[in-house]
A = this chain, B = another copy of it.
Amino acid sequence: MNWLEQSIMYTRGVARGQVGTTHELTEARQHTFHYTMGPYSDPVLNIAPGDRVVVETRDAFDGKIRTEKDLPSQHLKVPFLNPQNGPIMIDGAEKGDVVAVYIESMLPRGDNPRGTCCLIPRFGALTGTEYTATLNEPLPEITRKIDLDEDGVYWSKRIKLPYKPHIGTLSLSPEIDSINSLTPDNHGGNMDVPDMGPGSITYLPVRSPGGRLFIGDAHACQGDGEVCGTAVEYSSTTTIHVELIKNWQIAWPRLETDELLMTIGSARPLEDATRIAYHELVRWLELEYGFDRWDAYMMLSQCGKVRLGNFVDPKYSVGAAINKKYLAPAVA
């Protein structure tokens, strides 16, 4: 049996895993991409729980970096970075619910798909930045264009990396804030967690009517931490299956795969992001999996898994996870 049938999404979702209508959210239909996630933008699509959406995402540079001679400082204009599709309204979604997003597939778009990786001045983990404000000269500005297909990411003659796509930015709307698409927080946002690829389900808390789903920032591959500040950014056709879970109060995004349950925290300093993730995981085990709080805490100290999303965005993202095999109920 497919693990999805036993997933939280399928067992608790309104549509019980049934796939409804398939919508096409093409670039043309999207028309105006968004650079903040909030309650103030016009919906681009209304869907029912269980519907599938085929989304044409743009790369994080809005396609403006076309050759290795195009430098970020010439073509990018802060804060108009990381364009998002959406908002997609989910019928019946209300504050206190959860929207589940299962990623079915992510394919490169275009005849000659290429990804883009840039070294952007004063951005990245190993440089002074706007926040870690130093007086050092910035690092050099560099653009790399990388051929890729479903078989691999051709980094250099020497090195072929696996094609391991994931969605960098996935959000519902905050209740009253409108947050730029570079910043992750408890609404989701620019988390850059490599696990958020095909085969994963992300659970996001609903805070405004319809949920208002935003999606973008496809990565063909990405290392833990996204250390230089960018992944192999590319334009994708991403197919998602969206569900609604009523009356599930969660404070931060969560993720499920065949193998694990993960909670995701985003904050600075990095220990606070990690604290949030593990705190949410302890509480989840306590509230929904029959663990004593302190037993959950002590057990995760022995088997918890941590994934560093990014530590380059305005807030850093960390996932804390447990293998689902440890959650099976005790044999009577």
Measured in the bound complex, the distance between the Cα atoms of B284 and A84 in whole Å is 36
Measured in the bound complex, the distance between the Cα atoms of B299 and A231 in whole Å is 9
Task: Name A260-293 residues within 8 Å CB distance of B.
Answer: 265, 267-272, 274-276, 278-280, 282, 293
Whether A224 touches B134, Cβ cut-off 8 Å, given contacts A268-B267, A298-B142, is no
A139 at the A/B interface (Cβ < 8 Å)?
Answer: yes
A128 at the A/B interface (Cβ < 8 Å)?
Answer: yes
| Contact bitstring A296-314, B, C-beta under 8 A = 1, else 0 | 0111111111101001000
Q: Which of A38, A117, A225 has the most CB of B within 10 A?
A: A225
Q: Contact at B223–A301, with CB atoms within 8 Å?
A: yes
Whether A155 touches B224, Cβ cut-off 8 Å, given contacts A79-B177, A125-B274, A135-B139, is no
Q: Contact at B131–A276, with CB atoms within 8 Å?
A: yes
Q: Contact at A278–B40, with CB atoms within 8 Å?
A: no
Whether A300 touches B228, Cβ cut-off 8 Å, given contacts A134-B279, A136-B127, A330-B158, is yes
A226, chain B: closest CB distance, angstroms: 6
Q: Contact at A178–B40, with CB atoms within 8 Å?
A: yes
In this complex, what residue of B is CB-closest to A38? B178
A331, chain B: closest CB distance, angstroms: 8
Q: Which of B79, B225, B229, B275 contacts A306 (CB 8 A)?
A: B225
Measured in the bound complex, the distance between the Cα atoms of B300 and A311 in whole Å is 13
A61, chain B: closest CB distance, angstroms: 15
In this complex, what residue of B is CB-closest to A267? B131
Q: Contact at A224–B304, with CB atoms within 8 Å?
A: yes
- Chain B residues near A329 (CB-CB < 8 A): 158
Task: Name A124-160 residues within 8 Å CB distance of B.
Answer: 124-128, 130-140, 142, 144, 153, 155-159
Other A-B pairs, 4, CB within 8 Å; known A156-B299, A161-B303, A269-B269: A79-B175, A140-B294, A177-B180, A232-B302
Task: Give 29 pairs: A residue, B residue, CB < 8 Å, sorted on A.
Answer: A38-B40, A40-B178, A79-B177, A117-B298, A117-B301, A119-B294, A125-B274, A126-B134, A126-B278, A126-B297, A128-B128, A132-B275, A133-B278, A133-B280, A134-B134, A134-B136, A134-B275, A135-B293, A136-B139, A158-B328, A158-B329, A158-B330, A176-B180, A177-B177, A178-B178, A221-B303, A223-B301, A224-B306, A225-B320
